[in-house]
Structure 1
Amino acid sequence: MTKYNAATDNQLLDLLKSGDRCAYAEFYQRYFDMLYVHARKRLKNTQEAEDVVQEIFVELWSGAQSINIHTSLSNYLITCTRNKILNLISRNGFQEKYKISLAVTEKFESQTDHLVRARQLSALIAKEIECLPPKMKRVFLMSRSEHLTYIEIAKDLNITEQSVRSHVKNALKVLRFRLGLFFYIVLFFIK
């Protein structure tokens, strides 16, 4: 291994191009730490920095025959690392935008679905209210839609407060029976 330690980068590159694994190991020993520190400073993430540097060395080995370096090997490797980092940041930025877009879409779809169900439920409740006897329906709507008190309804319709109470109670019984317990509960929470 001493002959590899003493070899210049250009000599090692020639050996690497001929498939010399020891030359590759020497490149790795010489430049891994420098490239890792460079990547870690930029990415602020040890795992991503290590992955970037590993990719550089994999490409160095697999593309050794076609590498034409016009500067020093260290400049070449730093440039490769910088480009990998920029690609990673760009890809992560795109993925983050996609995640945000997806979350907004899911939220919108969820709200839309909720609105559709609420409208369907409201239509079903309105249909059942229309089927109530006329006086019961009127008292119930004054109580629930117009938010009048039993006293105000009694005064308005010229009936007793107890009659108003009975009409609302009977209307709720009918609706509870027709719509089921689930819709009865939802009726009071969707106002």
Structure 2
Amino acid sequence: MTDFELVSLLREDDHGAYREIYYRYTGLLYAHAFSKLQDRDEAMDVVQEVFSTLWLKRSVIQFQLNISGYLYITLRNRILNIIARKKIQSEYLTSLQSYLNKASADTDFLTRTNQLRSIIEDEIIKMPVRMREVFELSRKNHLSHREIAEKLGISEKTVKDHVNNALKILRLKLGFFNYVIFLIFLKNFF
């Protein structure tokens, strides 16, 4: 069958015509894609996308050239899009690396530390009064459980329970990552 006949059948949803076009052109398109992308998987993916598009748009595509020209142009455009996307990604990664290497990373860290401190303070304020009082004496004033118990006239077990419950609340509210940072930098926050 000629390409013209295959295209006519393809427009009529003929799966056999589609398969014939696929087998006729997939090797050539793959070789071209691989020569440009230098990645076997990526080349096969882009060829598959071209054929998927051909099937999905079979009834609306206007073949002004021949089927091989259409497939080649579609492939070329997709390859150019991939190359442009890779270039943008590369530029972004270079820019990001440059940013991270600058001293402004310290400013960003301080900003995030202040934001985290504010979030922690808000969560501490929301705690029940006695729990908040015990937690602040433990973490801000660095008193032992025994000292807090004596100061407030409660048992050491109650102090321990209040501190543990306060830490559970913070862990839930802050999420695991921020909670770990909170524990590491606890002394710096207060």
The interval holding the TM-score normalised by the smaller chain is: 0.5 to 0.7
Aligned equivalent of 2:81: 87
Q: Tell me the secondary structure at the aligned position of residue 104 of structure 1.
A: helix
Aligned equivalent of 1:186: none
Aligned equivalent of 1:150: none
Which of the pair has more CA radius of gyration?
1
How much is the aligned-residue C-alpha RMSD, in angstroms?
A: 1.9
Aligned equivalent of 1:110: 105
Q: Does 1:47 align with 2:41?
A: yes
Which amino acid in structure 1 is aligned with residue 79 of structure 2?
A: I
> How far apart, CA to CA, are the structure 2 residues paired with 1:114 and 1:84?
40
Which amino acid in structure 2 is aligned with residue 110 of structure 1?
A: A
> How far apart, CA to CA, are the structure 2 residues paired with 1:43 and 1:96?
15
Equivalent residues in 2 for 1:161-176, closer than 5 Å: none
Offset at residue 105 of structure 1 (A)? 2.2
Aligned equivalent of 2:2: 8
Aligned equivalent of 1:75: 69
Offset at residue 111 of structure 1 (A)? 4.5
> How far apart, CA to CA, are the structure 2 residues paired with 1:114 and 1:28?
54
> How far apart, CA to CA, are the structure 2 residues paired with 1:14 and 1:114?
63
> How far apart, CA to CA, are the structure 1 residues paired with 2:78 and 2:56?
16
Offset at residue 110 of structure 1 (A)? 3.0
Which amino acid in structure 1 is aligned with residue 9 of structure 2?
A: L
Q: Does 1:24 align with 2:24?
A: no
Equivalent residues in 2 for 1:110-189, closer than 5 Å: 110-112=105-107
1:36-59 Cα shifts (integer Å, max 9, x gaps): 001111111111111110110000
Runs of 4+ more than 4 Å apart: 111-116
> How far apart, CA to CA, are the structure 2 residues paired with 1:114 and 1:93?
29
How many residues are treated as equivalent by the alignment?
A: 110
1:90-140 Cα shifts (integer Å, max 9, x gaps): 011011111111222233343546899xxxxxxxxxxxxxxxxxxxxxxxx
Which 5+ residue runs of structure 1 have no aligned equivalent? 1-6, 117-191
Which amino acid in structure 1 is aligned with residue 90 of structure 2?
A: E
> How far apart, CA to CA, are the structure 1 residues paired with 2:55 and 2:110?
58
Q: Does 1:60 align with 2:30?
A: no
TM-score (norm 1): 0.53
> How far apart, CA to CA, are the structure 2 residues paired with 1:23 and 1:110?
59
Offset at residue 25 of structure 1 (A)? 0.8
> How far apart, CA to CA, are the structure 2 residues paired with 1:74 and 1:41?
18
Report percent identity of matched pairs: 41
> How far apart, CA to CA, are the structure 2 residues paired with 1:71 and 1:28?
18
Aligned equivalent of 1:180: none
Which 5+ residue runs of structure 2 have no aligned equivalent? 112-190
